[in-house]
Structure 1
Amino acid sequence: MSEMSYIQIIEHYHQHTASINELMGSILSGINDETLFQDEARQQKAIDCLMESYPFVDLPYTLDPSGQQLSHNVAPGNTLADQQGGVGKDRSHRPYFLQAKDSRATIVTAPYLSVASRSLCISAAVEVRSATDVLLGYIVLDIDLSRTIEFLMGDSQRLKFSVLFKSIYAAIALGLFSVVGLLFYFSLEGQPPYTPASPPIA
């Protein structure tokens, strides 16, 4: 897909808002684990899996209950050893934190223009609680909106082709069953299927 303009991205966003929100909820529920706040190796594994499976994820990180960033900014292709700062940064004023602290469900922000990349982004966040229902903090994903839309539209295209191929295979199978049915019918009749008579030999 060719590069989309901001207007095209926003138009596609409005068409796919429900799918985007469901996708963000699914991703965050899959990594919503209190061990992310306790085990750095577990955190790195979750980040690696995210980057491999979802190329539109720009930056995953964790916050404490007051909105202070706990984890390093780990961009795609980097490891925790290549940390780019971020720990201790106050995120309590950001829209996603203000929404997340008042909700137990996954929240997804409206699109905004990233100062760093100059691309349209969204952020998704969800709170993480312990087994005893103590609030441990929040998981946040910064998402490139254009690549997210391309990801979803690619799935739609694959689904259309899948339906088409299934229809073709069904038609072929139906044709084969028809031929088998005709042969079976003629065998019950005790005579072979009609074939044109050979012309008389002069």
Structure 2
Amino acid sequence: MYIKDIQKFEENRYKARAYMSYILTRNLPNKLPKIELSSVFNALDKLAHEVKNFDALYVLDPSGKQLEDTISLKKEFCTGKGEDRSNRAYFYRAVKLRRCVLSDPYPSSLHNELCVTASMPIFNAQNKLECVVCIDMKLVEILKIIQASQFEFFFMQFSRVVYFCFAFVLFIITCFLLHRGIVSLFYQSGIEIQQMFESTIAITLALAIFDLAKTVIEEEVLMRSKKEKSGIQKTMVRFLGSIIIALAIEALMLVFKLVTGELSQMIYAIYLIVGVSVLLIGLSIYLFAVKYKGEYLSD
């Protein structure tokens, strides 16, 4: 549960930061000729009534010490005055970047659940740091805020069901091909070279289709490898490689068949071999392009 929540947060981190930056910027005074702490706390009080799903609001001085007790809707959370938070990432990153920042998820000291902290530095008219305002919010609450609309959510669920059905059909085809390959190899009265070739082709195609179905399940149903482009490329290479192997075996079987029959039909075997060669060249170009793109992006 935590891993999925963290992954979803990382995928939508920019939305969460944009939202937190918006509500803090809209409510807090910044870069004014004279900024008093009372006006900052008044703004926080207004913010506390506007944003109902926060855990804590607090203000740090330029050295990182908490100025007053935490503002919270729960009385047991209203503590922390004088606490040194200068070593917290959300403090020194906000001071260094001079803008609103959003921390990584971490266990909260208030309730031991995962939370994130948005911190915003407040400057005066001379661009001197006056304080840093922080707001803590549970990770699940952030995810509720940034989640997609209801229609988009149901459409995503519908797409996952459709992809699962397609993958299930591909898996059934894999089972039929595997059964055909095993039957043609072991349950015949006499084993011939042609039967061995047919069995090899069926098993190879079964492997390729199973790999494709597995990738569809992982990518579109379980949402495991959305950002791992190399996983998609490896699947493409394995699938195309299996198809090329099956076609090459078919061409070899056709050559054996024509050697003992009509040599005038050998031209079709040559066409098939040329087609396999073209596929190999295309796969080589694809691999080179993928490798070149990876090296270019890493540079």
Given the two structures, how large is their TM-score scaled by the length of structure 1? 0.65
Q: Deviations over 1:61-115 (max 9, x none)?
A: 111110011121121255xxx9833221111111111211211111111111113
Q: Any gaps of 5 or more consecutive residues in structure 1?
A: 162-202
1:112 aligns with 2:109: no
Q: Which amino acid aligns with 2:136?
A: D
Q: Which amino acid aligns with 1:85?
A: T
Aligned to 2:72: 75
Report runs of 4+ in structure 1 exceeding 6 Å deviation.
158-161
Aligned to 2:11: 15
Question: Which structure 2 residues correspond to residues 86-101 of structure 1 after superposition, within 5 A?
Answer: 86-101=80-95
Aligned to 2:59: 62
Going from structure 1 to structure 2, the CA distance change for 1:103 and 1:84 (only over 3 Å counts) comes to same
Shift of 1:136: 0.7
Which residue, 124, 134, 149 being the options, matches 1:156? 149
Identity over aligned residues, as a percent? 27
Which residue, 2, 5, 15 being the options, matches 1:6? 2
Aligned to 1:25: 21
Given the two structures, how large is their TM-score scaled by the length of structure 2? 0.45
Conserved? CA contact 2:28–2:44, under 8 Å: no
Conserved? CA contact 2:69–2:80, under 8 Å: yes
Relative to total residues, which structure has the larger helix share, 1 or 2? 2
Distance 2:77 2:55 in 1: 14
By relative contact order (CA 8 Å, sep 6+), the higher-ranking structure is 1
Q: Deviations over 1:12-48 (max 9, x none)?
A: 2123211101111112212331677431xx4554334
Going from structure 1 to structure 2, the CA distance change for 1:158 and 1:151 (only over 3 Å counts) comes to farther
Conserved? CA contact 1:55–1:147, under 8 Å: no
Aligned to 2:50: 53
Going from structure 1 to structure 2, the CA distance change for 1:37 and 1:156 (only over 3 Å counts) comes to farther
Distance 1:88 1:160 in 2: 44
Conserved? CA contact 2:95–2:121, under 8 Å: yes
Relative to total residues, which structure has the larger strand share, 1 or 2? 1
Q: Which amino acid aligns with 2:52?
A: P
Question: Across the two proteins, how many residue pairs are aligned to each other?
Answer: 151
Which residue, 144, 147, 166 being the options, matches 2:138? 144
Distance 2:96 2:137 in 1: 21
User: Secondary structure of the equivalent of 1:50?
Assistant: helix
Aligned to 2:128: 134
More off after superposition, 62-71 vs 131-140: 131-140
Distance 1:66 1:151 in 2: 32
Shift of 1:53: 2.8
Larger radius of gyration: 2
User: Secondary structure of the equivalent of 2:97?
Assistant: coil
Q: Which amino acid aligns with 2:150?
A: Q
Distance 1:145 1:52 in 2: 20
Aligned to 2:117: 123
Going from structure 1 to structure 2, the CA distance change for 1:134 and 1:14 (only over 3 Å counts) comes to closer
Shift of 1:52: 3.2
